[in-house]
Structure 1
Amino acid sequence: MTISDTRAEFPPVCTHELFERQVARTPDAVALSFGTRQVSYRELNERANKVAHHLRERGVGPNVLVGVCLERSPEMVVALLGVWKAGGAYVPLDPTYPPERLSFMIGDAGTRWLLTEEKCRPVLGSLSAEAIYLDSGWPLLEHQAHDNPAPVAHPSHLAYVMYTSGSTGRPKGAMIVHSGLVNYLWWAIQAYAVGPGHRVPVHSSVSFDLTVTSLYTPLMAGGTVELLPEDAGAQNLVAALQRTGGHGLVKITPSHLELLSKQVNPIHVPGMARVFVVGGENLLAESLQLWRDLAPDTRIINEYGPTETVVGCCVHEVRPEDPTSGPVPIGRPIANTSLYVLDPSLRPVPPGEMGELYIGGAGVARGYLNRPELTAERFLPDPFSDVPGATMYKTGDLSRYRADGILEYLGRIDDQVKIRGYRVELGEIEAALAAQPKVWSCAVLAREDESGAKQLLAYVVARDDARPDAGELRSFLKERIPGYMVPAHFVFMDALPLTPNGKVDRKALPPWTGETAGAEKGGKPRTQTEQALAAIWCDLLKRDSVGVDDDFFDLGGDSMSGIGLLIQIKSTFGVDLELAGLFDHLRLSTLATAIDTLALEKIPSGSGDGSSEREPSNYP
């Protein structure tokens, strides 16, 4: 085990107090941009103060949880800061989550108040929490004082509770305190050189801790947060980076980086960003080649860290001499952080040997909300710390130290996986799938496709020969778990293989062969466009065939494969579609019709060859 001395000073304040200090320094600087709308530090602070005074009148104070269910907008940031300024802690609630999941999170957190907007009303249903609408209800807040409320929270109090997938079938909320968050942000501002004038895009959900880096480092350092509109993939991020360039910090997952590499015009690569911070998934050096070749001055940093230890606790900056293939190391600990590689008896293993990674230091969460047994299992007394009462987090990640003290990530011990940066417990998906009345038993695995991307694969044994189809199962799951947790493919079996002790033998589960369950919906493709489009679908979705009434997303497509579909449509047919437009044409036949229409619009009028009356046959 290698233990580095990472001790460093950081302000003994709450997170919002760092923001208030910045407001005093640069009140008229632009804090937020959202389309054509710009919000100064002064305006953002005053609007957050009004929310804070309103919440405090309702009894919000230290360790009191307030739900925040808002799409990306200035109002979302106003809400988050307002909760902190009132002294409370927020629970981020993604409006795209199924109502059942949102209801569970609100009930589990015991939130009495919910900051939201009218457009979120349908997904919130009938909740016990009191909804405070920051759009239609703003007149009720307008009369509140605009000055900073007197501070009541302490750095040891909760900043937020963020829910992650749970192996028992229900999400679990990690309790993050202000001191741990401030330690990370204070370190990140310096390590990533974030300062006045730097623009940082925010393109991910506030329920994803990747957003913490993008949102708060610029606000604490005088930069500008560029809030990007909601989209199904990362198209708004790609557009923003190509449109303006010169971003200070861009926080993305490896999946986002791959999409960016496929879509970006190479002439825009140099100067697009000063720093790419990549986190959430295992990073491969192969995916960095474009940036290392064309933008050698852009810093690329691999950041590792579970939600339970505040976003990031370990980093490695890619150097010119680093290998161009294979996994990128996760590096060395950040300030006030200890990383231990231990054997099952909690003894350090020598450099070069594999062990489980444990994390100690300032960023370790308080534990899981309302889960004392799980907290005791994952948050252990830190025997290597001289701080009384210090704990270390048991990550479940396998790792090893190299001889030079750099840490390498080697995979998971348990059934937890990362899908597009989101942490997913396979047990939660299995529990949701098992609740489907036609399912007798099931198992879920994550398999890598030819490109190295992970896809979820569900194995299903039907009840009493009443086999559901994949679309029925997918629709059932979409009502209960987030879309990124819904399996891409379903394999129907007569029985699941078992080990001698009666457990599911996951190693004996067969690979998915790409066979379509049942006949193609609507029959086989007929026109040339449908046939060419079907071939693209089969290639992307790894299927033998598709029908004209099949739905791309019901067949296992997602926002990432949707981007690939748009790229191939442009290459094959010479037409441009937006990802949002793809959702308007989910069936193969309707998408083919849209392609034909766009192709005809490109043919000059009056050409005299009758091309406007025939089916397009030659694609650019």
Structure 2
Amino acid sequence: FVDSISEIWGPLLHGRTLLVLSRETTRDPQKLVKVLSENQVERLVLVPTLLRSILMYLSLTPNQRPLQSLKLWVCSGETLSKDLAGQFFDYFSASGHKLANFYGSTEVMGDVTYFVLENHAQIEAFPTIPIGSPLDNCAVYLLDEEMNPARESEPGQVWVAGANLAAGYVGGQGASSFCDNPHVKHPEFSRLYRTGDYGTLQKGVVLYAGRTDSQVKIRGHRVDLQEVDRAVAKTPGVDKCVVLCYGLDRGSPEILAFVTLQPDARLTAQHIEGSLQDALTSYMIPQVIEVENIPLLVNGKVDRQALLKMYENTNNNDDSEITLDIDYTGVEPEALETARVLFETVGEVLGRAARGALSVRAGFYELGGNSLNSIITITKLREKGYYI
């Protein structure tokens, strides 16, 4: 994990104390906030998904106001949405807190650009949160297909130069991602790396403008949608599939797999998701949606917007009408009422995204939960008089 180098040695080389937390703690915002407060942590690096969870937890106790010493929050690994940045300054208004947006990748030794937000006004100054300006010893180029500089406000591919570039990939794969720099003015910037991202230059800073390929960031992990597509397509009984990412612009991306089934197949979406656990890591497993057919454009290509609109319309329906799959096996009679409230609340939060039956044997994350909707679940349970 390349970010660990700068995140561990950076503070230590500057004489600062480093606090390393367990994965269990980072998954529980209540524990995380408690540890950060007790240790008076001043700087924190996290993905936007975790920031959203922390802010949601803090909103449950608006009168306590912890984390006042944590002045610098650094977001990296995912798109930082304007909505989330706004929530940050709504909570930490007029208290000197800063929210930094960093951008980079493994091939360039972590982060290469940054943009620091200090108030609401900066959020409204741009259409999206900028990824900013190059760090020291780095150079960023926005180039067109002929390797010429893109015009201001027009998208160009993001290329990076500097001493931080990797020598290449093991086995010589992906050699086309590295090349000589035709715009070199210093030997240290003689090589370029193509990030696979688009960017635009506005008001002197770079704004992220999407990917040139099928890769997306899910909870800080780089995911190739084509790899997910191949895994879904190999599932026995699946006829056709289209894998898309929904909600990337809002900072809460979800992987969706729209599938049609073979005529004799006896499959459900949950069965397909279950079978994918052997082929994909947990954060890559999509929400599978069975459809009668894959919509096409007049040119024969898949109508991706129609599929996303279909999901959006379905997902915005009243989830209270869904029949929940609940299994009370193993629940003691005296705990039955508590189990009923817990299972129904989890089902209400997960809605159509729930993967499998709700039972004492099912893990929250296995059912499709994440750190964000865990906070929503805890909030709803507290409203019903149950505390976790």
Range of TM-score over shorter length: 0.7 to 0.9
Alpha-carbon contact 2:113-2:133 (below 8 Å) kept? yes
- Correspondence for 1:474 among 273, 291, 306: 273
Cα displacement (A) at 1:334: 0.5
- Correspondence for 2:27 among 233, 257, 262: 233
Higher Cα Rg, which structure:
1
Q: Equivalent residue for 1:561?
A: 373
Q: Cα–Cα, structure 1 residues 290 and 451, in superposed 2: closer, same or farther, change >3 Å?
A: closer
Cα displacement (A) at 1:224: 2.5
Alignment of 1:194-593 (within 5 A): 207=1, 209-231=2-24, 233-235=27-29, 236-245=31-40, 247-264=41-58, 265-266=61-62, 267-269=64-66, 271-289=68-86, 291-292=88-89, 293-294=92-93, 296-320=95-119, 321-324=121-124, 327-372=128-173, 374-376=174-176, 378-386=177-185, 387=187, 390-402=190-202, 404-448=203-247, 453-487=252-286, 489-498=287-296, 504-509=302-307, 511-512=310-311, 513-514=314-315, 520-522=324-326, 533=342, 536-543=345-352, 549=359, 553=365, 555-570=367-382, 572-577=383-388
Q: Cα–Cα, structure 1 residues 531 and 346, in superposed 2: closer, same or farther, change >3 Å?
A: same
Please give the TM-score of this superposition, normalised by the length of structure 2. 0.80
Q: Equivalent residue for 1:95?
A: none
Residues 232-241 or 558-567, more deviating: 232-241
Question: What are the superposed Cα offsets for residues 1-42 of structure 1, whole Å, 9 maximum, x if unpaired?
Answer: xxxxxxxxxxxxxxxxxxxxxxxxxxxxxxxxxxxxxxxxxx
Q: C-alpha distance in 2, partners of 1:451/1:356? A: 22
Q: Cα–Cα, structure 1 residues 389 and 405, in superposed 2: closer, same or farther, change >3 Å?
A: closer
Structure 1 vs Structure 2 CA RMSD = 3.3
Cα displacement (A) at 1:261: 0.8
Q: C-alpha distance in 2, partners of 1:411/1:449? A: 9
Q: C-alpha distance in 2, partners of 1:226/1:544? A: 35
Question: Which residue type is aligned with residue 340 of structure 1?
Answer: Y
Q: C-alpha distance in 2, partners of 1:493/1:281? A: 30
Q: Cα–Cα, structure 1 residues 485 and 239, in superposed 2: closer, same or farther, change >3 Å?
A: farther
Alpha-carbon contact 2:196-2:211 (below 8 Å) kept? yes
Number of residue-to-residue matches in the alignment: 361
Q: Secondary structure in 2 aligned to 1:225?
A: coil
Alpha-carbon contact 1:233-1:563 (below 8 Å) kept? no
Cα displacement (A) at 1:428: 1.2
Cα displacement (A) at 1:395: 1.9
Alpha-carbon contact 1:269-1:291 (below 8 Å) kept? no
Q: Cα–Cα, structure 1 residues 389 and 573, in superposed 2: closer, same or farther, change >3 Å?
A: closer
Alpha-carbon contact 1:342-1:357 (below 8 Å) kept? yes
Q: C-alpha distance in 2, partners of 1:253/1:544? A: 23
Q: C-alpha distance in 2, partners of 1:312/1:388? A: 18
Cα displacement (A) at 1:259: 0.9
Question: Which residue type is aligned with residue 354 of structure 1?
Answer: P
Q: C-alpha distance in 1, partners of 2:137/2:248? A: 38
Cα displacement (A) at 1:219: 2.9
Alpha-carbon contact 1:242-1:268 (below 8 Å) kept? no
Question: Which residue type is aligned with residue 226 of structure 1?
Answer: L
Q: C-alpha distance in 2, partners of 1:389/1:328? A: 27
Q: C-alpha distance in 1, partners of 2:67/2:34? A: 15
Q: C-alpha distance in 2, partners of 1:391/1:353? A: 24
Q: Cα–Cα, structure 1 residues 370 and 461, in superposed 2: closer, same or farther, change >3 Å?
A: farther
Q: C-alpha distance in 1, partners of 2:205/2:270? A: 46
Please give the TM-score of this superposition, normalised by the length of structure 1. 0.52
Q: C-alpha distance in 2, partners of 1:463/1:496? A: 13
Q: Cα–Cα, structure 1 residues 414 and 565, in superposed 2: closer, same or farther, change >3 Å?
A: same
Q: C-alpha distance in 2, partners of 1:568/1:269? A: 22
Cα displacement (A) at 1:290: 5.3
Alpha-carbon contact 1:252-1:278 (below 8 Å) kept? yes
Q: C-alpha distance in 2, partners of 1:446/1:536? A: 26
Q: Cα–Cα, structure 1 residues 457 and 467, in superposed 2: closer, same or farther, change >3 Å?
A: farther
Cα displacement (A) at 1:554: 5.2
Q: C-alpha distance in 2, partners of 1:480/1:461? A: 20
Alpha-carbon contact 2:345-2:377 (below 8 Å) kept? yes
Cα displacement (A) at 1:388: 7.9
Cα displacement (A) at 1:270: 5.2
Q: Cα–Cα, structure 1 residues 496 and 555, in superposed 2: closer, same or farther, change >3 Å?
A: farther
Q: C-alpha distance in 1, partners of 2:17/2:78? A: 27
Q: C-alpha distance in 1, partners of 2:188/2:4? A: 32
Question: Which residue type is aligned with residue 218 of structure 1?
Answer: P
Q: Name stretches of at least 5 consecutive residues in structure 2 with no aligned partner.
A: 329-335
Aligned residues: percent identity? 27
Q: Equivalent residue for 1:133?
A: none
Q: Name stretches of at least 5 consecutive residues in structure 1 with no aligned partner.
A: 1-206, 578-620
Q: C-alpha distance in 2, partners of 1:523/1:223? A: 50
Question: Which residue type is aligned with residue 191 of structure 2?
Answer: T
Q: C-alpha distance in 2, partners of 1:544/1:308? A: 34
